[in-house]
Structure 1
Amino acid sequence: MTTDRDGNPPTASSRPRAYATLPARTRGAGVHLMMIVLSLLAIFPLYWMVATSLRAENDIFSTTLWPSAPSLENYAFVLTKMPMLRILLNTMVVAAVTALLQVLTGLLAAYALVRWRMRLAGVVHGLIALSWLVPFQVTMIPNYVLASRLGLLDTLSGLVVPNAVAAFAILLLYHAMRSFPTEILEAARLDGAGHWRILWQIVAPNMRAPIASLGILAFISAWNEYFWPLLLSRKIENSVVQIALQTFMTQEGNLWGPLMAAATLASLPILLIYLVLQRHVIASFMKSGIR
């Protein structure tokens, strides 16, 4: 056994620094390697979607990672055989208006539950929470009958109105608003500010993070909505992108090339939103999971 100059065995503090930090570096490299592998697994389906959209019809089932002769024929087929740009615009309008209305109604309801003195406030909060647990299959028939009587079938308004109020939006903003300092609100009341002014000039500007999180989640949810547009839409030009994707899947077979091209076009807005608002998107999913 080796000893130091005084004849004592070496201690942990006297060992070389590189030796002491070697396990930590090894663990760090292992974690980074695992993250790289998981990232590749997550990105590969998107890559394969784009690669398939560039393949010719006789090259669809090829196992090569990249088409031998990339072509934009599938994109041209999608854009000429159906009003894809109008469908994307319809989906953008429906998702944006739905997200805006959910934020607006969620703010109003959350503020009322937090600030107004009501005996049955707890009961109302409980009923809202219970309505969140009711599946869509329970309410689709009454919603469809009501939309039919109001003349909202095959319209964009019919896709928006049933989703204008969401229990998730109310509960998320309710919990965020409960942590808002009451001293600031009481000071505003003493200065003569009413509830409307307090909500829009004091509360809402200071709740940008939860409002942004709710808006992003509501937009993505409305963009991916499928079942309700399937019930309400009659004409392809009045439908949304999820219904357009279904038209490439028939009993005779699936048009994989045009389907992947349409799916790529449908994914571009969401990917752009994620790239621009990456930090807010991640925060929204984390906060929604914690709540």
Structure 2
Amino acid sequence: MTPEPAPGSTLTLVEAPAHTPSDGAVGYRESRVRAAIGHVVLGLLGLACIVPVYWLYATSLRAPEDVYSLALFPWPLSGASYVEAWGAVDMPRLLLNTFVMAAMIALGQLLTGLLAGYAFAAYRFRFQNALYLAFVATWLVPFQVTMVPNYVLLNQLGTLNTVAGVIIPNLCSALAVIMLRSHVRSVPFELLEAARMDGRSAWSTLWTVVVPNLGPALAALGVLLFVNAWNEYFWPALVLQRTDAVLQLGLRSFMGTEGNDWGPLMATAGLTCLPVLLLYLVLQRRIVDGFVRSGLK
């Protein structure tokens, strides 16, 4: 109902400001300009990330006499550095050892993270928050603090100078527990209740209900854990103590007190990057989907 004016007063109508078609055009142009600026900034950041990788492969493809050249494009192209690197180290063995090491560490961290994340998200028990904070706290402890106790334990177990000695202390990751707990909590609680009412055990519910809903998240986290393990240098160097064990230590074969052999060194580093790149290309769709779902939760 429209209120009537009081006696002796006048009613003044205030017209709403008119929106001209030009206002919408101006707003559209501003949004396009902001989007263009954002794309330019992202493009520059992407270029800054790509340049070191490009220079690595460019150096590895130069002729031995042109290794120190600052030319942007390597010409003439030469595979001499790859031939020398392949002959200097046992490349197939290094690739196999490194892949087994990284895959076992990533799978172990995924499994322990999935079990712990499922327990923290789907169940309620005493001291739950305290235990979860303990997991988070281990993420904040520097590696140098646990390095000596782990080394002493491996020495007592007799696993020094073995790939197993690198894998065993890294089978649990606080990052995996934190991320998978968050993803398990995004699974509808009704699905878990329906599975329990259907008579499924906790183990069966995990593998038939929870895991199928976490495919993209597991793929994205698995690649992240695999890359971290693949790039690890300090712990394998401390445990294995030889250059013929994994690729990261094989790089030291081309580093000496009199100078570095940059051509084979860059060739070996380039071969080290290829498995990770291929893994990302294979799982790219799932990785992107996993990060998108993480942002929409």
The verdict on a shared fold, with TM-score over 0.5 as the criterion, is yes
Does 1:179 pair with 2:186?
yes
Aligned position for 1:57: 64
Aligned position for 1:106: 113
Q: Give the match's secondary structure for 1:247.
A: helix
Deviation at 1:93, TM superposition (A): 1.0
Residue identity opposite 1:235 in structure 2: R
Q: Give the match's secondary structure for 1:67.
A: coil
Distance 1:230 1:243 in 2: 7
Aligned position for 1:257: 263
- Contact 1:172/1:288 (<8 A) preserved: no
Q: Give the match's secondary structure for 2:259.
A: coil
Distance 1:89 1:172 in 2: 29
Matches within 5 A, 1:1-291: 13=20, 25-237=32-244, 239-282=245-288
Distance 2:271 2:229 in 1: 17
Gaps of 5+ in 2: 1-17
Deviation readout 1:164-189 (Å, 9 max, x if unpaired): 11111111111222232222222221
- Contact 1:96/1:219 (<8 A) preserved: yes
Q: Give the match's secondary structure for 2:276.
A: helix
Distance 2:70 2:249 in 1: 29
Q: Give the match's secondary structure for 2:74.
A: coil
Residue identity opposite 2:172 in structure 1: V
Residue identity opposite 1:254 in structure 2: N
Distance 1:185 1:175 in 2: 15
Distance 1:132 1:36 in 2: 33
Bigger Rg over Cα: 2
Distance 1:287 1:159, change over 3 A: farther
- Contact 2:60/2:264 (<8 A) preserved: yes
Distance 1:12 1:262, change over 3 A: same
Deviation readout 1:75-106 (Å, 9 max, x if unpaired): 01111111112111111111111111111111
Q: Percent identity?
A: 46
Distance 1:60 1:277 in 2: 35
Distance 2:243 2:261 in 1: 17
- Contact 2:61/2:77 (<8 A) preserved: yes
User: In the comparison of the two structures, how many residue pairs are matched?
Assistant: 280
Deviation at 1:199, TM superposition (A): 1.0
Deviation at 1:203, TM superposition (A): 1.2
- Contact 2:220/2:290 (<8 A) preserved: yes
TM-score by length of 1: 0.86
Deviation readout 1:29-68 (Å, 9 max, x if unpaired): 4444444333333222221111100122321221211233
Gaps of 5+ in 1: 1-10
Distance 1:122 1:86 in 2: 45
Distance 1:14 1:284 in 2: 41
Residue identity opposite 1:195 in structure 2: A
Distance 1:151 1:144 in 2: 10
Distance 1:48 1:188, change over 3 A: same
TM-score by length of 2: 0.84
- Contact 1:217/1:284 (<8 A) preserved: no
Distance 1:232 1:246 in 2: 15
